[in-house]
Every structure is written in structure tokens, then in C-alpha cells.
A and B are shown apart, each in its own frame.
Chain A
């Protein structure tokens, strides 16, 4: 639209300049023509007056010149006159004196004109001059020179007449003004027209843009209205069909995920009830039969253990399926991460002889997280470190900055190869199937831990080297508005820098993962600070 306006403007400008120059030139040449004709007529008359002079004495010559001047002034429209004896002529005592009417004009008549007259190659010569008008402005003019032959020895005289082009100038500026006004008017008109037309022409496109934006914003039932425009309505229909197809597909997927979730939930329910019954039954058996024979007692023990393991598996499976279905909502509350980590360590320390050392540098400020899930991440990581830490100390670091809180769990155990690292978050993947399992995880721990981090907008990352141990780092952004964050802890532990990474490498700015979440509306009561989550 702007381009249209600019092009129109330039075109009007070119047309204006063209009209102006041609009109100007035309006016000038017309006026010049008039001046030349006027001068020729005056010269003719003057020559006739001179020619009839009888005597060659001073008096008669002067009288002739005087009468010639009168004739010229009356015949010609010019008010300026220079009558001057040509230079380079033999002295003649009786030669009449030069006549000047209009001193200002005489000063302007320059040498090229007199020289040209001297050459007498043509009858008329002219030169542009300028007069001083009132209030000091310059008025263009023309000086036209011809030659008059005087009788006896008086020789040749130049007759130079001056013409003011004041009227022409006035006409010219009038036309210029008119043209300028017309141009401005046209520009405004065209500008308005272009704007108006573009509003009308582009309206369907704007509607289309608005509709597609609404769909992109998640308003899946937004559709393009018909615009009574053959081509646009075709676009509308196609677009709407596409949106319909998209929506029905999304609905279908939604239904499928809901069905899957319900199925898993139902299966879990159906499994949980008999599992509870089995647990209760073992309880009854153990309390009633204190004196079982050793093999039966052992069988009972195994049964209790395995029922617990079955339960853990069931819980993890349900959790991972909930994540898969995108149906997870988190209940956040302000949580002190350092205290949370210390609690987890306190609970896990009795399970191992390894020293679990907590090094909190920061992270004391409570941040809004789902403490159940964060606790689960930390327990999983520490449990993992206990499992693979080869009885060497485990170091848990906590730090925070303005964007994120991070916890890293470092063990100095067997570590993992690069190949292993690509599988570490895979479900049911075991680092080394031949290794004895002390804690007996379900194999879903790290997969769930990673989802737990992602659901908080955070990341769970791992560094490991065979023989050097493993470092897991979980980074959680401190606020929901944080789209990218900077992890306060290094992923590659100090003293373990590889070729490409420096020891204080924290991975730079990390991008907050975007994950489809079941819309969990967080209702925060401003006055009491109570937060509760509701599914919508």
C-alpha cells in the first residue's frame, strides 16, 4: 500500500515537472518570438527615419536620432533602449551621441551581444537578462540587438531593446501554483483511495489472518466467515475444511489418549484390589502362623517382597502412562529445595554404607514446585547413585540463581559409555543386566524422573564417563514465566572437563521444554496464598 502511494506520488511529480517545463519553455519561446518581431519592426521603422535624413551635419543627425528614438519607443513595446555607436569604427566628429533609456538595462547588455552585432552575421541577436523587480526579486528579460546604418561617416550603431518577461513569469508562477495545488489534491485523493481500496480488498485477508491466528492460539473452533467474494470464499471453505479436519483429528487423539488413560487406570484399579487382598492375606498368615517351618517362612517372605515389587511396578506404570497420555497436573506449593533434598538423603542414608554428602550453595529460597514429584526425582537419582556408586561417596550439590534451581547427584562409580548414555532414560533399560540389584528399582525411575522435571518446565541431564562416575543434574526454572534459564550447576563436574567443554560449563541458556499438559488451572487465593489445582 505504501509502495502504491509512493509510485503514484513519483508519477504525479514527473508529470508535474514535465507539464511545468514544457509550459515554461513554450511561454518563453512565444515571448521571445514576440520580442524579436517587435525589435525587427522597430529597427525597420528606425532605419526608415534615419534614411530620410538629408544633411550630415551634427544637428540634422542628432535630430534624426532623436526622432528615431521617438519612433522606436512608440512602435516598440519596449521601455528600455540602448543606441550605441559600434566600437572599432573611425572617429567621426559629428557622430551623434549614444542614447540610453534605462541605465540598469544598459549595464546588463554584455560584451557577447555587442561582439555578435559587430560580426553582423545575422540581423538580430538576443541575450537573456534579468531586471530588478520591486522588492528586490529578479525578473527575467530579453535584450534584442540589431544594427542601424547611419548616413555619412557616422557608421553603424547598435539598437538594443530590452523586454521584461514579468507577465510570463507571473503566468508561469500561476501555473506552478495551480499545478502544485492539483498535485497535492491528487496525492491526497489517491492516498485516500488506495487506503480505502486496500481496506476493502485486503479485508478478507485480514479476516483470514485473524482466524488462523486464533486457531494457532488454540481456539480450535475458530472458522473463516464467507465474504461474498468468489475467490476468497473458495479459500475460506478450504481453510475451514482444513480446520475441521485438524480439529476432528485432535479430538480423535484426545479421545484416544483419554481412552488409553482410562484403560490403564481401570487395569490398575482391577489389579490393585486383588493385590490388596493378597497383602491382607499375607498379613493374616504371618500374624497367625508365627512358627512356620523355615522353607514356608522364606516363601512367605519372598511373597511379601514380590507383592511390594509388583506394587511399585504398578505405580510406576500408571505414572508413566499418565505422562504418555499427557494427563498430568501438578500441585505446587512453595518448597525449600535444600530441606527437601536433606530429607530425601536422611531417608536413603540408612540403606547404604556410602557417604551421601549434601553441599547446598543456594536453593534456600522456596520455589513453587510439586514437592512430591521433586522428591521423587531426587530419590530416584540418589537411589541410582547408590546402586551404581561402587560404595564410593555420593555428592549432592544444590545451587540457585535468579532463573533456576539445580540439584546434581554425583557418584564415582562405574560410569557409563556414550552408547549407554543414549539409553539411560529409556524405559526398563538396565545399564548392566549382569549386575546385582540392591535396591530393586522398577526400571522406570529415570524415565519418570525426567518427565517429572519436564512437567516443571525443567530438564534432567546426565554426564558420565566409564570409570569416572556419573553426574545427574536436574534444573528447575524458578518461575513459570521463565522461558529459558541458566543452570547454576555444571553438568560436567569439576576436574572432569573433556576436550570440548570447560569445567564451569553449565550448558548455557537452556530452553524450557514445552510439553502438552492437561490444562491445570492454578487457582491461587491471593489473600491466603492457598493454591490448589483443578482440572478443567
Chain B
């Protein structure tokens, strides 16, 4: 159920671009708010409580990467970075700061909309369901992951990733398949997205991220969920 009144916070210092972006998004029925710099972005985020944040990397006062990590401290709201640089560095930095996805300028508006919709997708349509992966318990409807009753905070994207793997324990997912199922990419995209997010997820759910038991790497193929332990 895609909320037609989904709130989107656009953070970009370029006025013309922001204006056009707002026009396109509003044309698609979204409720668009705008912030022109990093500080304003933080204020607007607290005020608007958006469903998705579109965040430019190059911002006055506070860089997009900084804004990203500040938002992550308080919320798991999906963040899509808008970057003018396809340099590995910027993208990886943004992803490591907690961005869910990124779009490289000049992006195709259709593609951007697809990315936004993928992040707005609601996955908890399975009713009450409890899954187990390794020593973790996943409460699907409650969007909760616990280990020995202790709740682990995951962003919606990380939750989706873990849930997808957990639904079919033993099945190996390639990075491409994960990109399609979790990020909504219909074509070949940057598999680093998967790598970075798997690392972030591991940092949160694994007892020893060096020796993962929850998200296992199948070398040369992809990832799979660890078998549940009693």
C-alpha cells in the first residue's frame, strides 16, 4: 500500500534542481518538503518526519554524509543519496554512513521514482509470523529482531534484507537477486550496495562480525541465512 501522501524530504542546495525535483515528485503525488543545507535538513527532518529522504552529498555547512549519520542516530528512515560523483569513495562513504541507496546525477527521473517506491514498499503483509535465523528471532509483523529477548535496532532496509534471507533458510541469494528483491533494481546495478549493507547488518546482528553465523557468505555466489539454533 503505497501511501499517496508519502512525505519526501529533498535536501539539495541547487535551487533549480530542487524545484524540478519537487515538480516531478509532486506530479507523482508525493508530499514534498525541501531543505537547502545540512543544518536545515536536520531541522526539517525532525519537523516533517519524512518517509524517504533524498539527500545530496555536497551541501553547505554540513555534508550529506554527516547529515546521513546524524539522521541514522535517531531514525531508520530510508535515505537515498544523490551524488554527482560516481567515485567509489563518495558512494561507499555515503553507504557506510547509513544511506540505503544512491542515485548518481544526472539520474533518470523514472529511475529515481523506482528507487523511492522500492524504499516505500511495505513488507509486513504476512500477518503474525515469527522466523528464526541462527540465534535470532524475527517478529515479522512487529518489525522486530531479538537475540535472547534483547531487541536489535535495524533500519527498514536491513530488516528487509535479513527477512528475505530468513524466509528461505539455506537458499543462496546472489547479489543481483538481492539488488532486485530488496532495492528493487530491475537491471544490473552496483553490487557494492549489497556488500556494504551486508557488512552493516552483520555489525548489528553478529556476535563476531568476523565469524558470521547469521548472514553467511557463499564465496563467489552470494549470501544465505544461517541455520536456526535452539
Q: Which residues of A contact B (CB under 8 A)?
A: 265, 268-269, 272-281, 283-284, 287-288, 307, 311, 315, 318, 322, 329, 331, 333-334, 336, 343, 347, 366, 371-372, 375, 525, 527-530, 532-533, 535
A528 smallest CB distance to B (angstroms): 5
Which of the residues A265, A280, A535 comes within 8 Å of B24, measured between beta carbons?
Answer: A280
Q: Closest chain A residue to B104 by CB distance?
A: A272
Count of CB-CB pairs between chains A and B under 8 Å: 85
Q: Is B172 an interface residue (CB 8 A)?
A: no
Q: How far is B221's CA from A334's CA once the two chains are assembled, in angstroms?
A: 8
Closest to A334 in B: B220
Tell me whether B127 is interfacial, beta carbon within 8 Å.
no
CB-CB < 8 A to A333: which residues of B? 191, 195
| Cα–Cα distance between A520 and B138 once the two chains are bound (Å) | 38
Are B85 and A268 in contact, with the CB atoms below 8 A?
yes
B residues contacting A by CB (< 8 A) are 14, 16-17, 20-21, 23-24, 27, 58, 84-89, 92, 105-110, 188, 190-192, 195, 198-199, 210-212, 217, 219-220
CA distance A530 to B190 in the complex (A): 16
Instruction: Give CA–CA (A336, B86) in the complex, Å.
Output: 25
Also in contact, A527 and B211, with CB within 8 A (given A275-B106, A318-B86): yes
- Contact indicator B88/A366 (Cβ below 8 Å): no
Given contacts A334-B219, A372-B190, A528-B212, contact A276 B107 (CB under 8 A): yes
How far, in whole Å, are A303 and B134 apart by their CA atoms in the complex? 54
Given A277-B16, A280-B17, A375-B188, A528 and B85 touching (CB < 8 A)?
Answer: no
Chain B neighbourhood of A280, CB < 8 A:
17, 20-21, 23-24, 109
CB-based nearest A residue for B89:
A535
**Which of A269, A307, A347 sits near B85, CB closer than 8 Å?**
A269
In this complex, the member of B192, B219, B220 whose beta carbon has the largest number of chain A beta carbons within 10 angstroms is: B220
Asked if A284 and B191 make an inter-chain contact with CB atoms under 8 angstroms apart, the answer reads: no
Asked whether, in the complex, the Cβ of A265 is within 8 Å of the Cβ of B87, the reply is yes
Query: Which of chain B's residues have a CB closer than 8 A to the CB of A265?
Result: 85, 87
Contact A283 B191 (CB under 8 A): no
Contacts of B110 in A (CB 8 A): 283
Interface CB pairs A-B, < 8 A, 30:
A268-B84, A268-B85, A269-B58, A269-B85, A275-B105, A278-B106, A279-B106, A279-B108, A280-B21, A280-B23, A280-B24, A283-B24, A284-B23, A284-B24, A288-B27, A307-B106, A311-B106, A322-B87, A331-B88, A331-B192, A336-B220, A343-B188, A366-B220, A371-B191, A375-B188, A528-B211, A530-B217, A532-B92, A532-B195, A535-B89
Question: In the complex the two chains form, is B199's CB within 8 Å of A530's CB?
Answer: yes
List residues of chain B with CB within 8 A of the CB of A277: 14, 16-17, 20
Main secondary structure of the interface of A (DSSP, over half): helix
Residues in chain B near residue A329, CB distance under 8 A:
88
How far apart sit A371 and B58, CA to CA, in the bound complex (Å)? 28
Minimal beta-carbon separation of B80 from chain A (angstroms): 14
Question: What's the least CB distance linking A271 to chain B, in Å?
Answer: 9
> Which residues in A have their C-beta under 8 angstroms from that of B109?
279-280, 283
Cα–Cα distance between A318 and B85 once the two chains are bound (Å): 9
Contact A276 B105 (CB under 8 A): yes
Chain A residues near B92 (CB, 8 Å)?
A: 532
Task: Give chain A residues whose Cβ lies under 8 Å from the Cβ of B16.
Answer: 274, 277
Bound together, the chains give a CA A137 to CA B17 distance in angstroms of 116
